[in-house]
Amino acid sequence: MSAPGRLVIVGLGPGEPHWLTPAARAALDGASDLIGYGPYLDRLGDLRPDQRRHASDNRVELERARHALTLAAEGRRVVVVSGGDPGVFAMAAAVFEAVEGGDPAWAGLDIHVEPGVTAMLAAAARAGAPLGGDFCAISLSDNLKPWEVLEKRLAAALSADFVICLYNPISRARPWQLGRALAIAREHRAPETPVIFARAVGRADEKLTVVPLAEAAGGLADMATLVIIGASTTRCVLRPAGERPWVYTPRSYGGGR
């Protein structure tokens, strides 16, 4: 009888190898099959001869999840690979959606999610402490939800004075959404509100830009960028000439300087 299968969903972190957690590393080392978006699997380098790589496109998340569950049901030790944290706009939700609507036997599988370092945490650490107060995360991709829903959520979060982390802010197929989101932000935030454009944090081409909301524009972002819009309490700490300011949001709301 073959050994029972297992499925672990891991995140690789934003970029730097040391942001991969030991638990995720152990899961990768113990896998017989690794499933994920091709560029994420490429970050793993060469696999052992006893490991199989199953790469797919980034718009087939449910198909990828069903493939992983099928292999696990056959007794394989499967790892589904995401970037960042697998539970934040990533593959963990797709796996459980596939379980809910799929083969009833899948509900009895050994499935684990290993937490990882999501992009907003890495970007915030580079910038200072912009997430020191209350914050929320919104994906600007309207591939899986209507843009009207996104606009309502943006307006509500801005009205509630959250710091907002925008995932998937722009792409070649979605060139205008970030500009519209920034226009909505300007209806609720002062022109001097800090906005952070964190591109490819943890990779060789990393770039972090801090600008006031009045100067924020879609052209400062691409598919590898995370955008953080400050709250009314978010501040910049000026540094020596030529140095990027530190950005932080105090934990005390409306506290004195």
Alpha-carbon span 129 to 19, nearest angstrom: 18
pLDDT tens across the length of the chain (257 residues): 345 789 999 999 988 888 999 999 999 999 999 999 999 999 998 999 999 999 988 778 999 999 999 999 999 999 999 999 999 999 999 999 999 999 999 999 999 999 999 999 999 999 999 999 999 999 999 888 899 999 999 999 999 999 999 999 998 888 899 999 999 999 999 999 999 999 999 888 999 999 999 999 999 999 899 999 999 999 999 888 888 999 999 998 765 44
**SS3 labels along 114-174:** CCCCCHHHHHHHHHEECCCCCEEEEECCCCCCCHHHHHHHHHHHHHCCCEEEEECCCCCCC
Whether the full predicted model's pTM is greater than 0.75, yes or no, is yes
* DSSP secondary structure string for all residues of 8-29: EEEE-BSS-GGGS-HHHHHHHH
Beta strand ranges found along 115-182 (DSSP E):
128-129, 135-139, 163-167
Asked whether the beta carbons of 39 and 112 are under 8 A apart, the reply is no
Characterize the bridge pairing of strands 33-37 and 52-56: parallel
